Amino acid sequence: ASRKPRAEWDGVGALSDGHPVKLLANVGSAADARAAADAGAEGIGLFRTEFCYLDATEEPSVEAQRAAYAAVLAPFAGKPVIVRTLDAGSDKPLAFLDMGDEPNPALGVRGVRVAFERPELLDRQLAAIAGAAADTGAELSVMAPMIATAAEARWFAERARAAGIARAGVMIEVPAAALCAKEILAEVDFVSLGTNDLAQYVFAADRQLGAVAALNDPGQTALLRLAGMVAEAGAAAGKPVGVCGEAAADPGLAPVLAGLGVSSLSMNSAALASVGATLRAIDLPGCREAAADLGSRECSCRF
């Protein structure tokens, strides 16, 4: 049987008309980062730092954190890297952080909320991240997970700047943050849509529960409409809006996200070639057309 050869990606993160869409990698380890560089990632769009500490029984020292982060950033000297501060709790429990007993961990003290209770933990991590960037020459940005309000975004950006980090952004993965993207963008340098958690909270569908997996589909109207609102707020503020959830890795959704105005897509490195090739075959008007009719994008799970 003859198989259609898969389109080759030419390694350029852009549409067919040259409109740039940065293609970045999601990484959690040095091995991930090497694979991402080999796959042609233009930078790191999401470094999940908590993946370095899943087994740690106590908080690693600043020096140990710095070395662990530097090992991940090393292949990206001179390239943009977005390091996310600890996103512990809920689906990512960390042994060295006692989260207490919560009835609904996905709605509990997780992500940046841990830092509000223990700011010195965040400050030590920011110092280690800044050191790792200096060690490797990577172009550093830091990003906070689970931001819900503009005041939280301001608090995080101030701490990042106090640590000597020039660029601070936040994830948009709580619906309230998407709805207040304008106010949040006034506080930070960029935002990145975390469609995994955003879908979980928008559809009220646990991301870990198979029974509601079909409902938890980021290609639906509600989520894409929110993404479009955030992208519009980014354009108005002149600040970049990326996507680093699984939606970015979907070649069917990537043109829609580009059409909505998203300027970078960050994904596991195995998806870079197919998403890159898909984008190289379509121009900006084509992407905008793909994004135009959001109202008809329904979940096919039940009805």
Binding site for ligand PEP (CB under 6 A): 46, 48, 87, 173, 194-197, 244-245
- Point out the residue whose Cβ comes nearest to Mg ion: 197
Compute the least distance from the CB of residue 63 to ligand PEP, in Å: 25
Q: Which two tokens stand for residue 301?
A: 């799970």
Regarding 45 and contact with Mg ion (CB under 5 A), the answer is: no
C-beta closer to ligand PEP: residue 50 or 131: 50
Among Mg ion, ligand PEP, none, what does residue 32 contact (CB within 5–8 Å per kind)? none
What's phi and psi for 190, nearest 5 deg?
-165, 165
Task: Name the region of 208 (left: φ>0; alpha: ψ -120 to 50; beta: rest).
Answer: alpha
Among Mg ion, ligand PEP, none, what does residue 248 contact (CB within 5–8 Å per kind)? none
Among ligand PEP, Mg ion, none, what does residue 39 contact (CB within 5–8 Å per kind)? none
Compute the least distance from the CB of residue 178 to Mg ion, in Å: 13
Q: Which two tokens stand for residue 73?
A: 């950033």
Compute the least distance from the CB of residue 173 to Mg ion, in Å: 5
Compute the least distance from the CB of residue 175 to ligand PEP, in Å: 12
Tell me the binding residues for Mg(2+).
173, 197
Q: Which two tokens stand for residue 137?
A: 């020459």
For Mg ion, the binding residue among 59, 139, 187, 197 (CB under 5 A) is: 197
Regarding 194 and contact with Mg ion (CB under 5 A), the answer is: yes
Q: Annotated catalytic, 299?
A: no
C-beta closer to ligand PEP: residue 42 or 87: 87
Decide: residue 18, CB within 10 A, 0-12 exposed, 13-18 middle, 19+ buried.
Answer: exposed
Considering CB under 5 A, how many residues would be counted as binding Mg ion? 3
Q: Kindly give the residue spans of alpha helices, DSSP state H, lying in the chain.
A: 30-38, 62-73, 112-117, 119-136, 150-162, 175-179, 181-185, 195-202, 221-237, 254-260, 272-280, 284-292
| 3-state SS, residue 85 | coil
C-beta closer to ligand PEP: residue 110 or 280: 110
| Cα gap 28→6, rounded to integer Å | 28
Among ligand PEP, Mg ion, none, what does residue 217 contact (CB within 5–8 Å per kind)? none
Residue 67, C-beta contacts closer than 8 angstroms, at least 6 positions apart: 132
Catalytic residue among 52, 244, 299, 301: 244
Task: Name the region of 89 (left: φ>0; alpha: ψ -120 to 50; beta: rest).
Answer: left
Q: Which residues are catalytic?
A: 244
User: By the criterion CB under 5 A, which residues form the site for Mg ion?
Assistant: 173, 194, 197
